[in-house]
Structure formats: C-alpha cells, structure tokens
Amino acid sequence: MLPVKGFSGQKVAVLGLGRSGLATAAALKAGGAEPLLWDDSPEARAKAEAEGFACVDLTRNGVLDEAVCLVTSPGIPHLYPSPNKVIARALELGIPVDNDIGLFFRSFGSAAWDDFETPPKVVCITGSNGKSTTTALIHHILQVAGRPTQMAGNIGKGVLSIDPPQDGEVVVLELSSYQTDLARALTPDVAVFTNLSPDHLDRHNGIGGYFAAKRRLFAEGGPDRAVVGVDEVEGRFLANQLAMGPGDDRVIRVSSGQKLEGFGWSVFARKGFLAEWRRGKQVASIDLREVAGLPGAHNHQNACAAYAACRSLGLAPKLIEGALQSFAGLPHRSQLVAERAGVRFINDSKATNVDSAAKALQAFQKIRWIAGGMGKDGGLSGIEPFLGSVVKAYLIGHSARDFALQIGETPHEICETMERAVARAAAEAGPGEVVLLAPAAASFDQYPNFEKRGEDFTARVKALIG
C-alpha cells in the first residue's frame, strides 16, 4: 500500500466504494487521515463496513462541510452529463475534488529515495484503444529486462494498492479518460498516447472534451518524454504542441502505417516491420509478423508505443525484441482461444466500439464475425470499409437487428445469444477461417462487463470443440 500524504489528522470524504474507493480509504487511513466513506449502494457500504470502515451519508446537510477534500471514484460523473449531487455540493463549497490518481502522484515520492541509486519512475498510458495491451507489454518487457516493476491503474490493482517502490523500479499505469480528467496531480516521467476514437462522449460532452481529458496527462505535469500516436489528427496536434520542432526528441512519434523519418525520434510499423529512427537515421528494426501475441496492425501500433516507452527508459532494441516474442497477449484482446480443423477462434470482447472492432477485422482474413450487444451512439457507422474480410456476421444482443440494417450486403444471421452465435459460426466455418468475437458494442444488455462476455464466448467454444 502507498500511504496518502498531506492529510494527517484531517477528514477526507471518499465517494464510491468499489475497488479504487476502498483502496483509497485504506491508503488515507495509513497516511493518518480520517476517511468519511459513502456509496449509494447498501451492498458497497456493507462491504466497506466489513473491512472495518465506518460509512457516513455525504448527502446529509453539513456532513461534507467537515472534509478538506472529496475523493471520487472514476465512474461517478463530476461534470457531464451532470455532476453527482455530492460532487456538486463540494463544488459549491469550494472543497477540492480529486481521485486516487491525483493522490498517488502527490504521495509517490519518499525520503527513502535519498538512498536509492536510481529514483523510481512512472510510465502512464492513455488513449482510446490499445491502452491495456500497451501497458501490459511495457510491464512484460521490463520484467524480462530484470527491472523491478509494478502495473496498476485501470488494469491490475488500484494505484494506491501498489507496494512502495524499490530502487530503480518502474510503475506502469493504464489511465482512462475518467481518471485523467479529474486528477489534480499528473506528473509521469513518461506519458504514452496511443490513439483517439469516439468513446464516452456523453461523459465528456463530445469528442473535444474526451480529447481534452486525455491531453491533461501531457499538459498538467509535463512528462520528461512523451510517446504520441500520430495516426489521427488529435495525436498530431498533441505532438505539435509538446515539441519545440520536428527535431525535438523529447516527443517520440509513433505510427502504424506511416513512415516517420523526418523527426528527432520516431517508431513506426509498416508491412509488419517495426522501425526506429533517430535524427534521420534508422537505428533498429524488428519483424513483428511472427509475434503471436500481437496480431494485426493495431497491435503493431501497440508494439511501437511500448517499444518507444522502453527505449526512453534505456532498454536495448535486442532485449525489447526478445521480450516481444514471449508476450502472450491479454485475455479478451485478439486472444486465440482454440483451433480446430484449421478454424481459429479469437476472443476480442474488449472491442467495445466501432474503431476497435474495425482494427480486429483488419487483423484477420475470412472472418465469421460475432458482433452486437448494447450499441453505442452511431451504431456501426464507419464499419463499412472493413467488412470485406467478413464471410458472414452472427449478431447478438440488444442491437442485433439494428446492426443487421447497418452492414449492407454482408451475409448475416440474427442469433441473439452467444450460445447460438458460437454454434452457428463454428458449424459453418471452414479451414483457414476465423470465428471472431469483436462486438463493436458494450456488454451491459447481457453481461456485467466485457470480461464476462469474453469468458462466455471462450466457454462456449471449448464446450463445442471438446
């Protein structure tokens, strides 16, 4: 645990008692603060009380007034579409509102570092797609290199649940827009921006607000090194704002598909090969085509981002190349579940929006595509150019019939349930084809989260093929 500094003897309100909320309460208490806990859910309050915390209703008049800070969980709206009533009251009273990420950065340093040979560092990864894979890949490369490292944030454990860092340790954090939007302190040593596509637009009041939330990771604290995906205009804009000119190697531009040879430092992938360029010269190259854990151009972009971050930490290209080969990938992200009679079954349940689903469709040929769920704004708008490899679509969930109207002449079948979709796709698939779950939709109509959806797909596949 990382004790929170700066609140000893003071009352700090904690709103939301999920994983991050309980970890925050424990870290505040360890730092000498008195946490005031609240969650609208009786079950969440009961769990907190079972762990020895007292809950107090922050919605009651006068209770919040005693707090010097309000720490809120990421899923609770603080501005759009409208602030939670407790947060609205804190804004009226002028009580600072923060989250666990902000507390982490204000508490990360320690007097023990005076005796360290190499101060610990923090690498933060944000963006729309590929955050988790890039985060896990950086963590894996560091482990292979023998560097002490911990992974936390939007993946793994909560940031305040990590152990106090060791000499030379690198903490790797995946941060969502919900986390970067509110944190009052954001001071990573290395910050990574993977890409941007429309998501969470209601929470951020549009694409501009969504990008602004991501941009805070780079603008608030000013990382020593910024790794920026430049395949969208927002990434190019961000890189332009951060760099003093094209030769400024504090910004490492990353791309999947573009040659980036005219910059101080760049890493890009084309036709399956990763290339690192510095000051107009190529300094390294890696063949990504046979890296089993990173299939497709979208994963090659993740590889470039992770490579760039690790190079900025001083790791050698050959070491990184070896670590890429041993990376197994993450569950629910282009995960090979099984193979039978020349048919591969791929679980990409994390593909919850059109952009991520499109990337999955580009990674494979001859696809039996399982899609659907709780469709997002715009439905499948923009997916048409990527349907050429789809042999047939098997549509499930709340949006199945809407999706059927949006995929043009692509052969399809309304299956409604995962069980039927897997059975029908497996029965019709032939050698060389891929049965791909890439829903392009949220899971909440049939599952509590994308993980459970992916687990159901995996279980159905394994039950079917024995």
- The mean pLDDT of 332-347, rounded to a whole number, is 94
121 is in an annotated binding site: no
Is the pLDDT at 466 greater than 80? The verdict is no
- Percent of the chain exceeding pLDDT 90 equals 90
Q: Tell me the range of 81-90, 198-207, 287-296, 355-364 where mean pLDDT is highest.
A: 81-90
Q: List b or e across 292-328, with b for residues whose CB sees 16 or more CB atoms inside 10 angstroms.
A: ebbbbbbbbbbbbbbbbbbbbbebebeebbebbeebe
**458 a known binding residue?**
no
- Cα–Cα distance for residue pair 130/235, rounded to 1 Å: 14
What's the pLDDT at 292? 85
> Average pLDDT in the 304-319 region?
98
Q: Give the pLDDT confidence of 241-252 residue by residue, as tens digits.
A: 999 999 999 999
Dihedral sign (CA 196, 201, 207, 213): negative
Q: Determine if residue 61 is labeled as part of a ligand binding site.
A: no
pLDDT one-digit tens code per residue, 445-465: 999 999 999 999 999 999 998
Flag whether pLDDT at 41 surpasses 80.
Answer: yes
Q: How far apart are CA 79 and CA 370, in angstroms?
A: 35
Task: Please give the domain boundaries of the chain with CATH numbers for all domains.
Answer: 11-98 (3.40.50.720), 105-325 (3.40.1190.10), 335-465 (3.90.190.20)
Q: What is the pLDDT of residues 235-283, one digit of tens each?
A: 999 999 999 999 999 999 999 999 999 999 999 999 999 999 999 999 9
Contact present, 296 and 331 (Cβ < 8 Å) = no
Higher pLDDT, residue 230 or 155: 230
Per-residue H/E/C for the chain: CCCCCCCCCCEEEEECCCHHHHHHHHHHHHCCCEEEEECCCHHHHHHHHHCCCCECCCCCCCCHHHCCEEEECCCCCCCCCCCCHHHHHHHHHCCCEECHHHHHHHHCCCHHHHHCCCCCEEEEEECCCCHHHHHHHHHHHHHHCCCCEEEEECCCECHHHCCCCCCCCEEEEECCHHHHHHCCCCCCCEEEECCCCCCCHHHHCCHHHHHHHHHHHHHCCCCCEEEEECCCHHHHHHHHHHCCCCCCCCEEEEEECCCCCCCCEEEEEECCEEEEEECCEEEEEEECCCCCCCCHHHHHHHHHHHHHHHHHCCCCHHHHHHHHHCCCCCCCCCEEEEEECCEEEEECCCCCCHHHHHHHHHHCCCEEEEEECECCCCCCCCCHHHCCCEEEEEEECCCHHHHHHHCCCCCEEEEECHHHHHHHHHHHCCCCCEEEECCCCECCCCCCCHHHHHHHHHHHHHHHHC
**What is the model's pLDDT at position 198?**
84
Cβ neighbours of residue 455 under 8 Å, at least 6 residues apart?
none
Confidence at residue 17, expressed as pLDDT on a 0 to 100 scale:
95
Asked whether the beta carbons of 337 and 347 are under 8 A apart, the reply is yes
Q: Could you report the per-residue pLDDT of 97-132, keeping only the tens digit for each?
A: 999 999 999 999 988 899 999 999 999 999 998 999
129 annotated as ligand-binding: yes
127 annotated among ligand-binding-site residues: yes
Report CA dihedral (329, 330, 333, 335) to the nearest 10 degrees.
60
How much is the mean pLDDT over the chain? 95
pLDDT of residue 225: 98
| Residue 209 to residue 201: CA distance in whole angstroms | 8
Question: Which pLDDT score, from 0 to 100, does residue 396 have?
Answer: 98
pLDDT value at position 259?
A: 96
313, pLDDT greater than 90:
yes
Read off the pLDDT of residues 168-220 as tens digits, 9 standing for 90 and up. Answer: 999 999 999 999 999 999 999 999 999 998 888 899 999 999 999 999 999 99
Structure tokens at 398: 């709340």
Residue 222 confidence (pLDDT): 87
